[in-house]
């Protein structure tokens, strides 16, 4: 099916412009022109410097540090696009950090994942395109269509191409919540699957209790949705090595790398730590990791999804 829409236009906020530029290369279009200015009182102003009238507008913005500025800039860009008579506005959010806040698990707190969804829709977003939500149920917070991409194919292809005899390895889920993702990658690699069973000691402390599966003498691929401070990663890698893993490779969708993450990764007993470019990873972080950080591109996957959305074709076929 090919829907007759206005011209495809892609713009970028300030959080991950390199990814937006790479997406444009795959689409064969220039990155749209816009300006964002921060005043001395920290207020932001956004202005498009080209016509958006009846255009099919896509705005790329990851919710990475500083997260509040990234969200506010995206809201302003959506609102400005609607005011400029854009035909349709799709918010492309490669990393939706508030997906972690998906439930009321403590008294008197906000379900921020839903609140941010409400704000995006109130600003005028007609559609959302995102990748690997920490909690898939966040998808249900939106009343507009949501296309939820998976980085599984990119991670599996990377492991297959860079690990000797990858099919003889074992995908290891660092906790029970990661089993579904780990299982999907294991199927793509046609390799083994294991997971770490954990027990909660206190409200803030969790420790490994048992390993379900066999990793002894094998290459192990620890997969998860994101790395923040890398504390849980250090624990998972150490446990895998104590259980006899030959080598450990780490691959996640979102490399947030905050606080002591880079120092911890540099000291990690792992061959490499790979993440996609849903979050911009600076050269300083790559160098500071002692050469262990790898950045995998999801630009082609996003470009194909944007193209299919623009033409009215299925996005799910990209993962078949």
**Phi, psi torsion values for 11, nearest 5 degrees:** -125, 165
* Burial label, 26 (beta-carbon count in 10 A; 0-12, 13-18, 19+): middle
Q: What three-state secondary structure class fits 318?
A: helix
Q: Nearest-CA neighbor of 92 among 178, 7, 8?
A: 8
How many residues make up the chain in this entry?
320
Task: Pull the structure tokens for residue 234.
Answer: 């250090």
The whole-angstrom separation of Cα 119 and Cα 117 is 5
125 in Cβ contact with 193 (< 8 Å): no
287 in Cβ contact with 258 (< 8 Å): no
Tell me which residues are annotated as active site: 198
Residue the block writes with tokens 């906790």: 175
Angle at alpha carbon of residue 9, lines to 8 and 12, rounded to 5° = 145
89 in Cβ contact with 124 (< 8 Å): yes
Q: Nearest-CA neighbor of 116 among 125, 106, 105, 108?
A: 125
CB burial string 277-288: b at 16+ within 10 A, e below: bbbbbeeebbeb
12 DSSP β-pair partners: 60
């Amino acid at each position: 099916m090919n829907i007759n829409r206005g011209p495809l236009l892609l713009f970028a906020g300030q959080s991950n412009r390199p990814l937006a530029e790479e997406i444009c290369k795959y689409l064969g279009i220039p990155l749209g022109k816009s300006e964002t200015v921060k005043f001395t009182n920290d207020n932001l102003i956004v202005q498009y410097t080209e016509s958006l009238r009846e255009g099919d507008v896509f705005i790329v913005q990851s919710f990475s540090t500083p997260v509040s500025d990234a969200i506010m800039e995206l809201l302003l860009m959506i609102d400005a696009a609607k005011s400029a008579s854009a035909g349709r506005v799709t918010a492309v959010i490669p990393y939706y950090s508030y997906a972690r806040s998906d439930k009321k698990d403590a008294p008197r707190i906000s379900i921020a994942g839903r609140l941010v969804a409400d704000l995006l829709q109130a600003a005028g977003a007609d559609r959302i395109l995102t990748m690997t939500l920490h909690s898939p149920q966040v998808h249900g917070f939106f009343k507009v269509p949501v296309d939820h991409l998976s980085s599984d194919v990119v991670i599996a292809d990377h492991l297959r191409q860079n690990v000797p005899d990858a099919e003889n390895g074992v995908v290891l889920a660092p906790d029970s919540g990661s089993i579904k993702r780990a299982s999907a990658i294991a199927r793509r690699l046609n390799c083994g699957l294991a997971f770490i069973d954990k027990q909660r000691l206190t409200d803030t402390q969790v420790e490994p209790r048992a390993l379900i599966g066999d990793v002894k003498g094998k290459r192990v691929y620890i997969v998860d949705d994101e790395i923040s401070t890398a504390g849980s990663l250090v624990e998972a890698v150490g446990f895998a090595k104590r259980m006899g893993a030959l080598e450990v490779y780490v691959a996640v969708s979102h490399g947030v790398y905050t606080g002591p993450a880079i120092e911890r990764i540099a000291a990690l007993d792992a061959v490499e730590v790979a993440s996609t470019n849903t979050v911009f990873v600076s050269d300083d972080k790559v160098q500071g990791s002692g050469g262990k950080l790898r950045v995998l591109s999801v630009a082609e996957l996003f470009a194909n999804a944007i193209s299919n959305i623009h033409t009215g074709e299925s996005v799910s076929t990209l993962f078949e």
